[in-house]
Amino acid sequence: MYRKILSIGHTGMLFIEDLFNRVFSPRFNPFYYLGAIAFFFLWFVLGSGIYLLFYYRINVDEAYNSLEYLTKEQWWLGGIMRSIHRYASDGLMLAMLLHLVREFLNDRYRNWRWVAWVSGVALMLVFWVEGVTGYWMVWDQRSLVIASITTKFIDFLPIFGEPLARAFLSSSTVSNLLFIGVIFVHLSLPTLILIAAWIHLVRISRPVINPPALLNKAIGVLLLAMCIIIPATSRMPADLTIAAARFGIDWLYLPIYPMMAALPAWYSWVIVGIGIIVLTFLPWSIKSENLAKAEIILENCNGCELCFKDCPYEAVYMRKRTDGRPYEFEAVVVEKKCASCGLCVGACDFHAVDLLDRTENQIKDEITNLLKHTTSDGADKRFFTPQAINEQKILAVVCGYGVHMKGLINPDTRALKDMPNVRVMLLPCAAMLQPSMMEHAFIKGADGIFISGCEVNDCHFREGNIWLEQRVLNNRPPVLKKKAIDPEKIRVVWFSAIHTKEFLNELIDFNNELKTKKTEKKMVIHRFVKDRLTFTGISVLTLAAAVTLYLSNAPYTFFKESDSLLVFSFKHSGKPSKIKKALPDEELQKLPKHMRPKSEVVVKRFPVYAEINIDGKTVMAEAFRPAGMWQNGSSFAFEKIVVEPGRHKMIIRLSESNNPNKADYVYEDTIDFKAGRTVTFDFDEKEKRFIIAR
């Protein structure tokens, strides 16, 4: 079922990419550069962030005003820089999310790609934290809600002595120290981002981190237009007495915050934890086949470095010669990195590289058998039917990740069912086909070779179609030997799995050209190729920018303006439930009086039971466990309760021994709850009573 769903998703993604190819052409298709586009936005984020840092005041009382100065007083540069920082961050996250989905649906996350996948998931998590802390630093009303929900989420983990949420009881309790800590995290994470990005690319040769120049310019102009037309602004300053919270939420960075606000912290942790675990371990969700690795035949290796240069995954490296032969270097395969793509086989013209289950000699033998036929008595009908003998014999070499060939090939003869004169050979990558293999095919009677690789710029092994095209055009060694091969009898096409019909049409045209001996001098077919971005393409990018704008500021209501909010909090120690002597009396007497500890030590405390009653209705009744590994610390509470506006009679009961029937402290009063406002109750440890925090 999982594989079937994955297959359906893969087909859907190919249809979307094909549509974009028609609009942009494969040269500028944004789906082929999602990772590079994310890097493109990253440079904007880092550059604008450095500029903002010069003006930002690292103080809870001045942070808001420092950004307001940039937005309003220095709008012509500072305001644009702030907007670039905001929208480039959104563009980066959108590109990363699409990149993740695309790589998953195209089955490019398993086997040798697991390092890139896992580091990519880590990058997304780091960017998520970076985005959350960035919103926190603005310190407007939206920041306050984000900070409150975040601290509630973090406080579930017993890593702080006192819950962070208690820092947001009132304006006077908001600590500069906590604020500086958040800023420190935000400014430190870029280093971690760069390290994770390096790990993400470490197994990739010649990674593409820059989109085409025209695509860069179009995205850059649209980003600047967004910043000018709809600049990033702050909401009203953070005010802990205000409950109403309806504002634009960034669904690219804060999609789980509505859930975190509505659900208990443990529930949110379960969902987030399961999500991270599933994403991280997806590369091992499907049992991968044991692919045969490349092997260097050392006695044939002359250290030419072609296999090293062509390997897309850093799986081949060169080292000093070890066998005493008169060459400086020898090639070595790193099996853990090997993708079994065969690109190194296609790059070697000296028979020095083989895939263990598909050697060069085996491929040539396969070509010989596919093209074998006889004209006497039809003795070898299993190879070519009598009708096919008079046709042009074509060897079709098809990439295993290209056109979907299931049901098109006769399993007995390996011929196309409707074209018996065409014999099909499947390779892991079309670039595994060496020029010497093509020469062998012509020697064995082929009238033409039809090569079908992955879509342009979308090779499953990154660079296979590029290398093959350059070899056919004699722009990359090993090149075709024109004395042995007629280039006009080779046709190379690029199709994805959904282009079966187009594949057959091109094959029929090639067959007809061979029959009439009017072959076009066009070995490589690029469909939809354009030299420039079209108006339609720019329109699609503009639509993507508009969607990004909406997702970054979509209205959401956390608390209605017609609601009031009761915040209930305390830090209080329950009565001891277990006590032991600090030291035996005789040892205690030996110590000087000023060094003697308390005679008794609290080993464990009772939970603190709290109950809130509004107009005769119990709205909260809960026992709060003591903190600490041995439950001998203080109990903490931080609860939010929505209350209907108006005057309400409130009764708060607190029991130090977790006894609902015996309250040690009682608060009773009539409180006026105003619409859209917050009333915060805290327990004053000195006066031993509940107070309304201001």
Query: Percent of the chain scored above 90 by pLDDT?
Result: 75
Residue 334: CATH number of its domain: 3.30.70.3270
Q: Categorize the per-residue pLDDT at 304 as very low, low, confident or very high, splitting at 50, 70 and 90.
A: very high
Beta bridge partners of 576: 605
Question: What pLDDT shows up at residue 389?
Answer: 54
Tokens of 593: 């009086």
CB 671 within 8 A of CB 690: no
Q: Categorize the per-residue pLDDT at 380 as very low, low, confident or very high, splitting at 50, 70 and 90.
A: very low
Tokens of 207: 């990674």
Distance separating alpha carbons of residues 80 and 231, to the nearest angstrom? 7
Number of domains in the chain: 4
DSSP state of 598: P
Average pLDDT for the chain: 90
Question: What pLDDT shows up at residue 526?
Answer: 81
Question: What pLDDT shows up at residue 164?
Answer: 87
DSSP state of 207: -
Clarify whether residues 344 and 310 are in a common domain: yes
Clarify whether residues 249 and 345 are in a common domain: no
Clarify whether residues 126 and 57 are in a common domain: yes
pLDDT at 388 > cutoff 60? no
Domain membership of residue 413 (yes or no) is yes
CB 294 within 8 A of CB 353: yes
Question: What pLDDT shows up at residue 290?
Answer: 84
Clarify whether residues 381 and 351 are in a common domain: no
Q: What tens digit of pLDDT does each residue of 548-589 get?
A: 999 999 999 998 888 899 999 999 999 998 877 666 666 666
Distance separating alpha carbons of residues 67 and 79, to the nearest angstrom? 8
Parent domain of 648 = 560-693
Clarify whether residues 430 and 492 are in a common domain: yes
DSSP state of 428: S
More confident residue, 59 or 17: 17
* Mean pLDDT of the 403-424 span: 91
Task: Tell me which of 253, 284, 315 is where a domain ends.
Answer: 284
Question: What pLDDT shows up at residue 128?
Answer: 96
* Of 508, 441, 437, nearest in space to 478 by CA: 437
Beta bridge partners of 462: none
DSSP state of 329: E
Domain membership of residue 3 (yes or no) is no
DSSP state of 406: T
Domain membership of residue 533 (yes or no) is no
Q: Categorize the per-residue pLDDT at 288 as very low, low, confident or very high, splitting at 50, 70 and 90.
A: confident
Residue 411: CATH number of its domain: 3.40.50
Query: Percent of the chain scored above 70 by pLDDT?
Result: 94
Question: What pLDDT shows up at residue 585?
Answer: 65
Clarify whether residues 451 and 517 are in a common domain: yes
* Mean pLDDT of the 301-326 span: 95
Clarify whether residues 121 and 182 are in a common domain: yes
Distance separating alpha carbons of residues 481 and 394, to the nearest angstrom? 19
Question: What pLDDT shows up at residue 593?
Answer: 67
Domain membership of residue 507 (yes or no) is yes
179 vs 137, 192, 212, 567, 581, CA distance in Å?
8, 21, 41, 21, 41
486 vs 430, 437, 690, CA distance in Å?
19, 14, 94
Domain membership of residue 643 (yes or no) is yes
Domain membership of residue 628 (yes or no) is yes
Question: What pLDDT shows up at residue 392?
Answer: 87
Clarify whether residues 45 and 138 are in a common domain: yes
Question: What pLDDT shows up at residue 390?
Answer: 60
Clarify whether residues 369 and 352 are in a common domain: no
Q: What tens digit of pLDDT does each residue of 202-225 get?
A: 999 999 999 999 999 999 999 999
Clarify whether residues 271 and 318 are in a common domain: no
Task: Tell me which of 252, 284, 316 is where a domain ends.
Answer: 284
pLDDT at 13 > cutoff 70? yes
Residues belonging to the chain: 694
Beta strands in 232-352 (DSSP E): 245-249, 294-296, 316-320, 329-333
Domain membership of residue 542 (yes or no) is no
Q: What tens digit of pLDDT does each residue of 337-359 get?
A: 999 999 999 999 999 999 988 99
Distance separating alpha carbons of residues 72 and 84, to the nearest angstrom? 15
Domain membership of residue 342 (yes or no) is yes
Question: What pLDDT shows up at residue 486?
Answer: 83
pLDDT at 107 > cutoff 60? yes
* Mean pLDDT of the 61-77 span: 94
Clarify whether residues 429 and 303 are in a common domain: no
* Mean pLDDT of the 239-248 span: 88
* Mean pLDDT of the 516-523 span: 71
Clarify whether residues 205 and 242 are in a common domain: yes
Give Dmax (Cα) for the chain.
118
Residue 248: CATH number of its domain: 1.20.810.10
Could you tell me the pTM of the whole model? 0.91
Question: What pLDDT shows up at residue 387?
Answer: 55
Picking from 158-172, 278-292, 506-520, which range would have the lowest pLDDT averaged per residue? 158-172
* Mean pLDDT of the 274-300 span: 92
pLDDT at 84 > cutoff 90? yes
Residue partners of 416: CB distance under 8 A and separation at least 6: 396, 408, 409, 410, 422, 424, 504, 507
129 vs 115, 122, 182, CA distance in Å?
21, 11, 10
Question: What pLDDT shows up at residue 162?
Answer: 82
Question: What pLDDT shows up at residue 520?
Answer: 66
Beta bridge partners of 491: 450
Q: Categorize the per-residue pLDDT at 599 as very low, low, confident or very high, splitting at 50, 70 and 90.
A: low
Task: Tell me which of 332, 356, 380 is where a domain ends.
Answer: 356
